[in-house]
Amino acid sequence: MKTYKPTTPSRRQLTTVDYGVLTAVKPMKALTAKLASRAGRNNQGRITMRHQGSGNKKTYRLVDFKQDKIGIPGRVKTIEYDPYRTAFIALIVYKDGEWRYILAPKDLTIGAEILTAQQAPLAVGNRLILKNIPIGYLVYNVESHPNKGGQLARSAGAYAEVLGQEGNYSILKLSSGEVRKVLSDSFASIGQVSNPDWNLVNIGKAGRSRWLGIRPTVRGNAMNPVDHPHGGGEGRQPRGTKRPKDIWGNITGGRKTRNKNKWSNKLIMQRRPK
């Protein structure tokens, strides 16, 4: 983590990730795209997610979560920043001449060789099927179904631990604490996602939130009764209702939102702790 001299009140608190591990290059143009900023609005222009808008312009990097170059080794050329995700990404050049971005694991170095195969060496960045990964190994970018591309353990510092094998399923413990089954023919990459210090970042000032596209959030009890169920009253008042609610009166806080009939409930062996 990088800290700063307290030249202003906000600088005293502000911390950032140390980007010294990154390669100082511009992204590969052929592997980028421009995404329109929707600012929390749907296709009718209506706000469906509050408190989003503004923010710095950014270019989307086309990251390969599938890594389906089976048996073709690749070499790490650069490790780069990605404004659309918390983790770093790595630019890979494969032996057949193709270039792709992948999620960079922690401790991946420039010049390292990676390989995707059903059975590959148990080295950081290599990708193989779960049934060929020994118990106790950390994995990331895990497929929930074979050939679907990585969906689990993709954010900065995330990982899943292989706890065992049971029939056609591998048992994984996610970094949230949840224990679940995943089909053992699914691919997963060895290691932990890069940038594990990301959760220690202190935004430091309101302006930095605006750079990230986050607009201010107003407390419900600071509003009037017409605007929020918690609003109104002389001076500071308790919320005045039995349980916390959002602006539309829906119950929040401690309420389980997962669908009781969701098909994958049977794969969850232990829910994450509160």
Render pLDDT for 199-208 as a digit per residue (tens, 0 to 9): 999 999 999 9
The residue type found at 153 is: A
The residue type found at 143 is: E
Q: Is residue 66 part of a domain?
A: yes
pLDDT band (50, 70, 90) for residue 198: very high
Exposed, middle or buried by CB within 10 Å (0-12, 13-18, 19+), for 67?
Answer: buried
**Joined tokens for residue 217:** 């959030």
More confident residue, 255 or 21: 21
Q: Is residue 3 part of a domain?
A: no
pLDDT value, residue 79 = 94
Exposed, middle or buried by CB within 10 Å (0-12, 13-18, 19+), for 163?
Answer: middle
The residues, ordered by sequence, that sit 6+ positions from 113 with a Cβ below 8 Å of its Cβ are 73, 74, 75, 76
Of the candidates 168, 177, 135, 156, the one whose C-alpha atom is nearest the C-alpha of residue 268 is 177
For the chain, the domain total comes to 1
pLDDT value, residue 92 = 94
Query: What mean pLDDT do residues 174-197 have?
Result: 93
Query: What mean pLDDT do residues 201-220 have?
Result: 93
Buried b (16+ CB within 10 A) or exposed e, 221-251: beeeeeebbbbeeeeeeeeeeeeebeeeeee
**What does DSSP assign to residue 123?**
-
Query: What mean pLDDT do residues 170-182 have?
Result: 93
Q: Is residue 256 part of a domain?
A: no
For 7-59, the pLDDT digits (tens) are 999 999 999 998 988 987 899 999 999 998 889 999 999 999 999 998 899 99
**Joined tokens for residue 60:** 């989307």
Q: Is residue 227 part of a domain?
A: no
Q: Is residue 103 part of a domain?
A: yes
Q: Is the Cβ–Cβ distance between 126 and 116 less than 8 Å?
A: yes
Q: Is residue 223 part of a domain?
A: no
pLDDT value, residue 20 = 87
pLDDT band (50, 70, 90) for residue 274: confident
Res. 192: pLDDT tops 80:
yes
Q: Is residue 149 part of a domain?
A: yes
**What CATH number did the domain enclosing 172 receive?**
2.30.30.30
Task: Compute the Cα dihedral for 93, 95, 97, 98 and give only its sign.
Answer: negative
The residues, ordered by sequence, that sit 6+ positions from 21 with a Cβ below 8 Å of its Cβ are 79, 88
Res. 255: pLDDT tops 80:
no
Domain that holds residue 118: 18-50+57-199
pLDDT band (50, 70, 90) for residue 262: very high
Q: Is residue 162 part of a domain?
A: yes
**Joined tokens for residue 198:** 């990301």
In this prediction the pTM is: 0.87
Query: What mean pLDDT do residues 72-92 have?
Result: 94
For 89-123, the pLDDT digits (tens) are 999 999 998 999 999 999 899 999 999 988 888 98
The residues, ordered by sequence, that sit 6+ positions from 242 with a Cβ below 8 Å of its Cβ are none
